[in-house]
Amino acid sequence: MSLSERVSTLTPSSTLAITAKAKELKAQGFDVVGLGAGEPDFNTPEHIIEAAIKSMHEGQTKYTPAEGILPLREAICQKLLEDNQLKYTPKQIIVCSGAKHALYNIFQVIINPGDEVIIPTPYWVSYPEQVKLAGGHPVYVEGKEENGFKVTPEQIQQAVTSKTKAIIINSPSNPTGSIYDKAELEALAEVCLKNDLFILSDEIYEKLIYGDAEHVSIASLSSELYERTFVVNGMSKPYSMTGWRIGYAAGPEKYIRAMVDLSSHSTSNPTSIAQYGALAALVGTQEPLEMMKKEFAQRRDVTLALLNELPGVSCLEPKGAFYLFPNVSEAVKNSSYSTTDEWVAALLEEEKVALVPGSGFGAPDNIRISYATSLDVLKEGVKRIERFLKK
Ligand X SMILES: *Cc1c(COP(=O)(O)O)cnc(C)c1O
Contact of 105 with 342, CB cutoff 8 Å:
no
Among 34, 138, 177, 234, binds ligand X (CB under 6 A): 234
Binding mask 80-119 for ligand X (x = CB under 6 A): ------------------xxx-------------------
Among 13, 19, 60, 242, binds ligand X (CB under 6 A): 242
Among 236, 269, 327, 329, binds ligand X (CB under 6 A): 236
Contact of 275 with 64, CB cutoff 8 Å:
yes
Distance in Å, CB of 245 to ligand X, minimum? 7
Distance in Å, CB of 27 to ligand X, minimum? 25
Among 191, 204, 278, 292, binds ligand X (CB under 6 A): 204
User: DSSP labels for 107-135?
Assistant: HHHH--TT-EEEEEES--THHHHHHHHTT
Distance in Å, CB of 382 to ligand X, minimum? 23
Neighbours of 232 (CB within 10 A): 24
Binding mask 262-301 for ligand X (x = CB under 6 A): ----------------------------------------
What are the backbone dihedrals phi and psi of residue 356, each rounded to the nearest 5 degrees, phi first? -105, 125
Stretch of residues binding ligand X (CB under 6 A), selected from 11-19, 150-158, 230-238, 269-277: 230-238
Strands of 73-228 (E only): list them. 93-96, 116-121, 137-142, 164-170, 198-202
Q: Based on CB atoms, which residue is closest to ligand X, 229 or 329?
A: 229
Task: Classify each residue of 39-71 as buried b or exposed e, where b means 16 or more C-beta atoms within 10 Å of its C-beta.
Answer: ebbeebbeebeebbeebeeeeeeeebebbbbee
Stretch of residues binding ligand X (CB under 6 A), selected from 49-57, 207-215, 233-241, 364-372: 233-241
Contact of 78 with 71, CB cutoff 8 Å:
no
Neighbours of 358 (CB within 10 A): 26
Among 92, 105, 164, 174, binds ligand X (CB under 6 A): 174
- What lies within 8 Å, CB to CB, of 238 at 6+ separation is 204, 206, 207, 208, 281, 289
Task: Classify each residue of 277-294 as buried b or exposed e, where b means 16 or more C-beta atoms within 10 Å of its C-beta.
Answer: bbbbbbebeeebbeebbe
Which DSSP state fits 360? Answer: G
Stretch of residues binding ligand X (CB under 6 A), selected from 82-90, 235-243, 293-301, 357-365: 235-243
178 is an interface residue for ligand X by CB under 6 A: no
Distance in Å, CB of 390 to ligand X, minimum? 33
124 is an interface residue for ligand X by CB under 6 A: yes
Distance in Å, CB of 216 to ligand X, minimum? 17
The residue type found at 373 is T
Which DSSP state fits 318? Answer: P
Q: Which residues, in sequence order, are bridge partners of residue 320?
A: 209
Stretch of residues binding ligand X (CB under 6 A), selected from 3-11, 177-185, 223-231, 232-240: 232-240
Q: Based on CB atoms, which residue is closest to ligand X, 244 or 343?
A: 244
User: DSSP labels for 239-262?
Assistant: TT-GGG--EEEE--HHHHHHHHHH
Distance in Å, CB of 386 to ligand X, minimum? 28
User: DSSP labels for 17-30?
Assistant: HHHHHHHHHHHTT-
The residue type found at 138 is P
Distance in Å, CB of 124 to ligand X, minimum? 4
Binding mask 33-52 for ligand X (x = CB under 6 A): -----x--------------
Distance in Å, CB of 72 to ligand X, minimum? 14
Distance in Å, CB of 304 to ligand X, minimum? 19
79 is an interface residue for ligand X by CB under 6 A: no
Interacting residue ranges for ligand X, rule: CB under 6 A:
38, 98-100, 124, 170, 174, 202, 204, 234, 236-237, 242, 247
